[in-house]
């Protein structure tokens, strides 16, 4: 089991008020799965992503990543868990604008203490895997949105993470680049990469093999009969 979240609550606690966001969220993900978490803006998707990504802690509940309890770790150990287990992809790419694609992709390997020659070798291989071998010396400004997101995916994969986490990965892309990106995710999943993707868009979620819905901080699994009902109601194009 890659992910095992049970009975997660999350409230943001500010001096003036407590904002409850996640309510009794449980999610189990096995190696090789491709899961989409779909919900409208404000439903708690990024809050859940930050917990899964070991960037924030729940108020209640348990969380095991690769069988290890991550909630009793200090911030420093959490950082090394992120580095060794997780690859992140965000809506706005989060690339360093003055660095080449190659240097952007190699950066996590600097933190992992990999030597320069090996960093370059692995970064080139990761860029080749996402179809950008012809663009390795380009800076983000010289790349399209879809290409920038591919660089971000290469960076997320360069350390061979157990899990690829994507928060609205197509949020800044046009529909053609979005489709190409979803085809890349399918390819990566076929190669064995475990993916948890967050989106508000049904047509994007429909690429995943398994879809969960989140609404007002409550997570529910979508069954095949739900799918049929939504399709029958014309509420999304599922393939
Ligand atoms: P989504 O990603 O689905 O749009 P978020 O997880 O970003 O939703 O936010 C869910 C709710 O939590 C929103 O009502 C938001 O205002 C609130 N929230 C998010 N971050 C904080 C924070 N740091 N402090 C207080 N409230 C927050
Ligand atoms: Mg969000």
pLDDT tens digit sequence for 45-95: 999 999 999 999 999 999 999 999 999 999 999 999 999 999 999 999 999
Q: Do the domain assignments include residue 239?
A: no
Nearest CA to ligand 1 atom 12: 21
Query: Cβ distance 150 to 95 under 8 Å?
Result: no
pLDDT by residue (tens digit) across 104-116?
999 999 999 999 9
Instruction: Find the domain containing 188 and state its range.
Output: 3-232
182, part of any domain: yes
Q: Write the pLDDT tens digit of every residue in 152-172.
A: 999 999 999 999 999 999 999
Q: Is the pTM of this model over 0.85?
A: yes
Q: Band of the pLDDT at 227, cuts 50, 70, 90?
A: low
Among protein residues, the one with the nearest Cα to ligand 1's atom 14 is 42
Atom of ligand 1 nearest to the CA of 41: 4
Is any atom of ligand 1 closer than 6 Å to the C-beta of 21? yes
Q: Residue 132 in contact with residue 150, Cβ under 8 Å? A: yes
42 Cα to the center of ligand 1, angstroms: 6
> Which pLDDT score is estimated for 222?
85
Mutation probe of ligand 1 site: the residue of 42, 59, 212 with most atoms within 8 A of C-beta = 42
CA distance 69 to 168: 27
pLDDT exceeds 90 at position 210: yes
Q: What is the Å distance from ligand 2's center to 122 Cα? A: 31
Is 35 contained in some domain? yes
Query: Residue 8 pLDDT more than 70?
Result: yes
Mutual orientation of helices 101-111 and 145-157 as an angle, nearest 10°?
20
* pLDDT > 80? residue 219: yes
Whether 40 lines ligand 1, by a CB cut-off of 6 Å, is no
What CATH number does residue 180 fall under?
3.40.50.300
Instruction: Tell me, yes or no, whether 195 lies in a domain.
Output: yes
Q: Is the CB of 215 under 6 A from ligand 1?
A: no
């Amino acid at each position: 089991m890659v992910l095992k979240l049970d009975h997660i609550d999350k409230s943001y606690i500010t001096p003036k008020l407590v904002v409850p966001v996640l309510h009794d969220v449980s999610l189990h993900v096995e190696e090789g799965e491709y899961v989409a978490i779909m919900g409208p803006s404000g439903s708690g998707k990024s809050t859940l992503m930050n917990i899964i990504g070991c960037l924030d802690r729940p108020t209640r509940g348990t969380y095991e990543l690769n069988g290890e309890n991550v909630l009793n770790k200090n911030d420093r150990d959490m950082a090394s868990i992120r580095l060794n287990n997780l690859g992140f992809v965000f809506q706005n790419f989060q690339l360093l604008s003055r660095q080449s694609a190659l240097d952007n992709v190699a950066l996590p390997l600097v933190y992992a203490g990999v030597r320069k020659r090996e960093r370059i070798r692995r970064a080139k291989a990761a860029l080749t895997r996402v179809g950008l071998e012809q663009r390795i010396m380009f800076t983000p400004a010289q790349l399209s949105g879809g290409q920038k997101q591919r660089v971000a995916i290469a960076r997320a994969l360069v350390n061979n993470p157990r899990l690829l986490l994507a928060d609205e990965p197509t949020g800044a892309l046009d529909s053609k680049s979005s489709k190409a990106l979803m085809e890349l995710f399918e390819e990566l999943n076929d190669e064995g990469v475990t993916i948890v993707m967050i989106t508000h868009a049904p047509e994007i979620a429909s690429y995943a093999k398994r879809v969960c819905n989140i609404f007002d901080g409550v997570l529910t699994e979508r069954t095949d009969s739900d799918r049929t009902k939504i399709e029958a109601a014309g509420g999304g194009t599922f393939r």
